Structure formats: C-alpha cells, structure tokens
A and B are shown apart, each in its own frame.
Chain A
Amino acid sequence: MVPRIAGEPGRRRVELDLRDLEAPEPLRRILEAVAALGPGDSLVARTPRYPRMLFGQLEKRGLEWEAREESDGSATLSIRRPG
C-alpha cells in the first residue's frame, strides 16, 4: 500500500496496490493520490473490486482514466492528469 513513484516531474508514474483495503479506503487513497498529480503525471492502482463508483469522481476532477477488470475480480486502473 506504500505508493511507488517513478519518473521525472511531468512524466511521473505513481503505483498503488490497494487490494487489501475495504471500501471506501481504495477510493479515498486514489483520490488523495490524484490530488498530488501534476500535469502529465499518471497513477496506476490495483483495487480489490471494479471501482465503478470512482469514475464520476475522476471525471469531475478532469482526469483521464482507463479501467480493466482482472480475472480474480480485482481491477487495474490507470489515471492521467492531462498535461
């Protein structure tokens, strides 16, 4: 659950594994993390479930996102702040 941050400012990529957190903690951690993203930065998060309720919140924050449901019921979410 400790975020991994790699890359230079403007192209930073933050990684979060939130699969061991119950609702609404994954949602809260993702929204906290995206608040710190600069233009062009991105976040990749693994969530325990498909985070359908999160998408509206991302949209309201002007973020681009892509979600994929994994075979074990978890999901991989890629979020990017437009640069």
Chain B
Amino acid sequence: MQIRGLSLDQAPPLAIPLSFFGLAPCAVGGAAGVLLFYGAQSLVTPWSPVTLCLTHLGTLGLLTSVMFGALYQMTPVVAGSRIPGVRLAHAVHVGLALGVLFLCWGFARGSVAAIYVAAGLLAPAFLLFLIPVGVALARTATRDETVLGMTGAVTALFLAATLGLWMAHGFAGLHFPGPRPLWLRVHMTVALLGWVGGLITAISWQVLPMFYLARTVQLGTKRAIQALTGIGVVGPLGVLLSYSVEGAREDWRSAFLYAGLAALPAALGVWGIHPLVSLRSLAGRRRRRRDATLLFWYAGLSVAPGVALCAAAAVVWEDPRWELLLGWLAIWGWAGMIIHGMLSRIVPFLVWFHRFAPRVGSGPVPSMRALLPDRWVRQGFVAHSVSLGLGALAIVTRDDTSARLAGLALGVTATLLARSLLRVVRTQPAPLDSGEPAPG
C-alpha cells in the first residue's frame, strides 16, 4: 500500500470510545452486587433469572460495551473507513447502558415491564450501532483478516441480538418461539463464539504485534481460525432453523446435542487454536519488556481451553455446573481478562494520542506508564484473578460464602478498574511552559 499525503486522520472523538469503556467498571460493580446480594442462589442453574442478570451484566455491560467502543475506534483507523453519523454513538451509549440496567432489573426482580423497556432500548441501540458500522466496514477498501474478523463479529452480533430480542418476548410472557433451552444455547454460542470470539481474535492480530511486538501470526492460521469460527456459528443456527421449521418435537435434547456438535469447530478455533498461536506469538516477542497488561492476556488465553472443556462436558453431562462454569470462565475469565487487559493498555494509549501526541516536539510529554502505573494494573489483575477463582469454587461447591466472597472480589476489581480509568482520563496536558501532566 502506498499513500501520499492523503488525510487519514479519521479517528472518532476521544469521548466516544471512552464513554463505552466507562461502562465496564459499572457492569463489573453491578455483577458484584448481584453476587453479594443473592450469593450461591445466583449460581445454581445457568438459566435462572438471577443468573441471566449476572450473565448479561458480563456479556452486554462489560464485553459488548467495550467492544462497541473498540469498533468505533478501530473501524476508521484499521479499516480506513469513516463511520457515517458517528455522533449517533452517544445515543447508542445511552440506549445500551439503560437497556442493560432495565434488562438486569427485569431478570433479577421478575419484572416483565422492565424486560419490555429493555428490549425497546436495546433494539434501537443495536440498530444505530450495526447500520453505520456495517456500512463503514462494507465500504472499506482494506480486506485484511482483521477487517474480515470485525465484519464477521458484527454479523454475529446482529444474529445474537436478533435471537436475544426474540427470546425477550418469551421471558416477558409472550409465546416462546420453540424449545427455550435450544434457543438459549444457540444464542449463547453465536454471542460468545461469533461476536466476542470473532472480535477478540481479529483485534489480537492488531494489538499483540502493535503493543507487545509479538510475532505476526501466519495468514493461513488466521484464515483457518476464521473459517472454523464461521462454520461453528452457522451450524448451530442451522440446527435451530431446521428444528423450528420442522415443528416442535418432544426430544429437543437431540437437537441440543447436534447444535453442540455443530459449534465444535468454532470452539476449537476460538478456545483452542487461537490461544495456542497467540501464546506462541507472545513467547516470540522481539522486545521483552515487563508489562502488567500482558498478565491479563496470558490469563485469558490460558483459561480459554478450560472453557472449551466445560462446553464439551456441558453437552455430554446434564450437571448444570458445567454450563455455569463454562459461562463464568468464558465471561469473567477468557473474555473478561482480555478485555480488562486491553482497557488498561488502550485507554492510556488513546488519551496519550489525543492529548499528548500533538505536543511532541514542542515540550515534554509523559510516557504511557506515567499515565497508568504498572503497579495499579497489577493490583487490578490480582483482584480479577481472585474473583475468578472464588466464583469457580462457588459453582463447583455450591458454597454461599464463596459466592459472596467472589462478589466482594469483583467489587474490588470494579473499584480498581474505575480508579485506573479515572486517573488516565483526568490527565490533561499542562501549559506548554510547565512540562508536567496535570491530573484533573
């Protein structure tokens, strides 16, 4: 690619990604509150309303919020394509935040009205996100594997959101469209593997070489992971569709088994091959600087094969703890750890880029470590790891104290994350004759 003097400064205003990233500690804090209030009751079966509340605080409140912010930032910068009407992101932000709030309130308190309100907020928020970002991705001339992965992830989000909103009608008292367990599991597969997995893999191919000088992953391997993910997302949807078209049968469990088997390629790609090649590429870093944000990547990637094993066990055995463990490890372990690590690296980078890069050459500029000290990141990692371990222990033992302690540790994680983000966001350049960055 050769570009001469063409303006490509298409990055969105800093406030847009930051507003989405700011929802992350709120969602983690909300999940902490659920665990503290309900204890082991929130970890008995994956499909109880309280557990669904906990799950969606993780999937929508934490993961989707951060991933929306990341896509608003990355689509213009990586794909080189401007998002039309990018300021609509503020409406998406409000719709997503309030939608998650009402959805979780509706689940936790059994309020049908709240779930209706949530669906009415989330549906337009998703559309206002999907249409402009989809248009920008469709228009781009860049067709590398990261852009392909972003496009696939956005498509999976559309499918997962459609299934989710459709199911919301079932939870809100209307006729449920088919066997609920099958719909729930296909929704979870498309959301976790297609949307979250698709985007994490695509972004890792940009972020790991850029911020950690990790070795570039072979193109063939990237393509194989993406092909497996695509097959493993379309397969379960096909099972759901064929089951729905042929009419309700007594034995939905056979369809559940087929859907699980159909998802295997995606699980292999996202939770098996991707972590392996990413850890190998990190092992071959060209410059081995100590960096606390890497701890999150190592932890998240190491947990991923465990998620795959729990998924396989959940298909074979009926003990609900396998599915609970799958959800817990996937949301707060694999994806949650990686997202927490990315926030700790990307937020200082964006603040540095927007506020300090224009000053380079005309006065002293702080390093990224000065914006967010490694020690703070390490403290967040410890709290997050403790909460992950305690939550897994609470699921396996059904112990109420462990569940509430996991909630406490998640609360500490949320507080530390909020403290770190606030410190970075409040750092402003000092007047040019002073030289030191001024917090707040």
Contact = CB atoms under 8 A, between A and B. Distances in A.
Interface string B360-397: 11100100100000000000000000000000000000
B352 A24 contact: yes
A35 B4 contact: no
A11 B2 CA distance: 24
Interface in B1-37: 1-9, 11
B356 to A, nearest CB: 9
Contacts of A68: 1-2
A65 B4 contact: yes
B210 A48 contact: yes
Interface residues of A, number: 32
A73 B361 contact: no
B211 A31 contact: no
Contacts of B287: 20-22
A66 B5 contact: yes
Give the interface centre of B5, B287, B358 by most chain A CB atoms within 10 Å. B5
A66 B209 contact: no
A22 B213 contact: yes
A67 B80 CA distance: 14
A28 B9 contact: no
A67 B210 contact: no
Contacts of B11: 53, 56
B131 interface: no
A49 B210 contact: yes
A32 B211 contact: no
B427 to A, nearest CB: 15
A66 B368 CA distance: 27
A6 B373 CA distance: 39
A69 B1 contact: yes
B210 A55 contact: no
Given A23-B349, A56-B9, A48 B209 contact: yes
A53 B349 CA distance: 12
Given A22-B211, A73-B209, A64 B357 contact: no
Interface of B: 1-9, 11, 77-78, 80, 209-213, 216, 286-287, 289, 349, 352-353, 357-358, 360-362, 365, 368
Ordered nearest first, which 10 A-B pairs have the shortest CB separation? A56-B9, A35-B361, A31-B360, A69-B1, A55-B8, A66-B4, A68-B2, A23-B210, A22-B213, A31-B361
